[in-house]
Chains A and B, each alone.
Chain A
């Protein structure tokens, strides 16, 4: 999750930015709210979930505008990536088969987990027991396998 560059330090955005400026601002405010929310009362591992979630949503927003709706230009898309409005590494994964819905990069790293495997949220629904409910500890994802 790259940080958004402060407006003063970046190049002016390419054409089309005004179309999405307001929505990006809303994401930004949500992110600020999430970061400023006191986390004293919640389990430590859950504290970061909203931040992961908003970051994911914002990347998805940019991704869909560029790849699915072709609503923004390549220069604008690149500018957004460069300035931290979307996670380029995560988007790169979404373009790969099997990772179309990936929640976050951490969940496909095998090193950090106990069983040397990816996160439980990557397990396709079909492979879970019928009544099994999963939620990943890292980002709060409840399942992001492509087949779900």
Chain B
């Protein structure tokens, strides 16, 4: 769904998320209320909470007209995203517009989904359960109250879903138009509620056999009340539509998380033929190789690997969206959990950097002195003048440096300032190249360069505005810190940390493999299921033909009787 360019057709209202109902305020404003979470908003809560994004900005929620500069693509994306993502209130609804869910602009186009929920139907008699069909025609059962979902249909839902399927088969058998007789429909799906009404503007060939249609009615308050906000008594659902990626209830990340969370556990989609394990897989996560701790650590690895600046605000991570496509992003299932881990990580990381810097500066007194030179030295001052002027500065007093050295570096530095930029750049490059990968690698943070670099005169010759991007580019092109060479030097803790990381990653890989395999199996089954469906249809058709013929022959007989 959520391409940043997706523009909802004007006037087309998106479906309300489950749990939300529409109300009119005394002032005439329409607002929406969620009885479950006790949240309310003027902004229509559309497709559901995404685990990716914190709740959409309260600022944007009230705007009916662009208040942003849409000529800026990033801003335009963010602006459009409010229509598409329609982030309702997942967490942190209130609390100023501070960090918790009041982040304002979130200019991030969502990553392209793979599979995603497309339509859903309430499961008759099993309120509040709904059956969700995905783009790839898989389906899963979803409980909006508990926010749990199962690829493998829980046994208690099976009879009702079987009935739904039979209704659909009957309906198909009665003609592809989908205009089944109302009695039949209601009897088959008494509680069915549409959650994905078609945008009015969309033109689709409903008669095409490519679309499987489920006629549903809307007569249920707890599920349906929040869903069919248009007040249309009945809507049509489409289970397949390659053209229009309209928004649906679940995001890709949700699906991914569900897939991941359920791991090898989902899979039985054979209707009515479940293995009858009933409750044993109730909460999904059991029996998985990834522990909670592993998930947290994997998320931290992710932050480390993407060189996330621990000083940056959380909103930046979300706005940039660099990490979303990494599988480790979804090992934690909620934004809240991710934010917590991020918080923990950033604190620890900052602490670590501080300590490392303090150690470095102690080790190498040249670093603060070079920094002073870079900042204050000027060809206008001779050494004695400079020394007098800054004699109170720490680096000028540091007993670990001799005055002779200080003077030499000062003169060198001033002389170097006269050199052409190209020479200075070449010198800096030479300096960087002289540093071994163990000290300077793609994990190096710009503000924490090794002393070999930060304490060298060549480091301070260039203006930081030129130098820093140059170094950043160089560092990015480097490989990772070599693992083998320094093992001996590493203390136990580091070694252990690395081993644990390997273990976590193996577990993640295993899980992904299981998920992929499950997906393949799923697709096979689906094909089988479809083939079976076609067979059943054919049989039904045949049966009906027979009964027509039977009726015909009865009529013939009846006509024949009076004559005999």
A interface residue numbers (CB < 8 A to B): 12, 18-20, 22-23, 26, 30, 33, 36-39, 41-42, 46-47, 49-50, 52-54, 56-57, 60-61, 64-65, 69-71, 101-103, 121, 125, 130-133, 135, 139-145, 148
Q: Which of B31, B75, B99 lies in contact with A131, CB distance below 8 A?
A: B31
The distance in angstroms between the C-alpha atoms of A142 and B62, with both chains bound, is: 10
Q: Give the Cβ gap from B342 to chain A, nearest Cβ, in Å.
A: 12
Name B445's closest neighbour in chain A (CB-CB): A19
Interface residues of B, dominant DSSP: loop
The distance in angstroms between the C-alpha atoms of A101 and B95, with both chains bound, is: 6
Name B353's closest neighbour in chain A (CB-CB): A19
B contact residues around A19 at 8 Å (CB): 309, 311, 353, 447
Q: Give the Cβ gap from B71 to chain A, nearest Cβ, in Å.
A: 10
Q: Any chain A CB within 8 A of the CB of B181? A: no
Q: Which of B38, B62, B75, B347 lies in contact with A69, CB distance below 8 A?
A: B347
The distance in angstroms between the C-alpha atoms of A57 and B41, with both chains bound, is: 22
Q: Which of A26, A37, A132 lies in contact with B40, CB distance below 8 A?
A: A132
The distance in angstroms between the C-alpha atoms of A136 and B345, with both chains bound, is: 34
Q: Interface centre among A33, A36, A71, A102, by most B CB within 10 Å?
A: A71
Q: Which of B33, B41, B67, B312 lies in contact with A50, CB distance below 8 A?
A: B67
Q: Give the Cβ gap from B495 to chain A, nearest Cβ, in Å.
A: 28
> Are the CB atoms of B67 and A102 closer together than 8 Å?
no
Number of interface residues of B (CB under 8 A): 46
Q: Any chain A CB within 8 A of the CB of B65? A: yes
The distance in angstroms between the C-alpha atoms of A144 and B96, with both chains bound, is: 4
> Are the CB atoms of B96 and A101 closer together than 8 Å?
yes
0 or 1 for each of B68-79: is its CB under 8 Å from A? (1 = yes): 110010010000
B interface residue numbers (CB < 8 A to A): 23, 25, 31, 33, 38, 40-42, 58-59, 62-63, 65-69, 72, 75, 93-99, 102-105, 309-313, 315-316, 346-347, 350-351, 353-354, 375, 446-447
> Are the CB atoms of B59 and A57 closer together than 8 Å?
no
Name A73's closest neighbour in chain B (CB-CB): B354
The distance in angstroms between the C-alpha atoms of A114 and B58, with both chains bound, is: 24
A57-B98, A135-B42, A142-B58 given. 14 additional CB < 8 A pairs?
A19-B447, A23-B311, A26-B316, A41-B65, A42-B67, A70-B350, A103-B97, A121-B96, A133-B25, A133-B41, A135-B58, A139-B97, A141-B58, A144-B97
